[in-house]
Amino acid sequence: MKAQRSVLFGEAIKLLDSGHARAALEIAEKLVSSDDEQDKLSGYFCRGAIYEDGGSDLSIDIDKAIYNYRQVALLSPDWVAFNNLARMHIKKGGSNAFVDAKKYLDEAAKIEVSPEVLLGYALYYRKKPDSNPSIAKQYYLQAAIRGRFSGLFGYSEVAREVGQPFRAIIADCARILFGPFVVFLIGSKARNVF
Confidence of residue 6 (pLDDT cuts 50, 70, 90): confident
Beta bridge partners of 58: 55
Q: Based on the number of CB atoms within 10 Å of its own CB, is 98 exposed (0-12), middle (13-18) or buried (19 or more)?
A: buried
Residue 8 has pLDDT above 80, yes or no: yes
Domain residue limits, the chain: 1-76, 94-194
Q: What is the pLDDT of residues 20-79, one digit of tens each?
A: 999 999 999 999 999 999 999 999 999 999 999 998 899 999 999 999 999 999 999 999
Helices 149-161 and 133-145 sit at what angle, rounded to 10 degrees?
A: 160
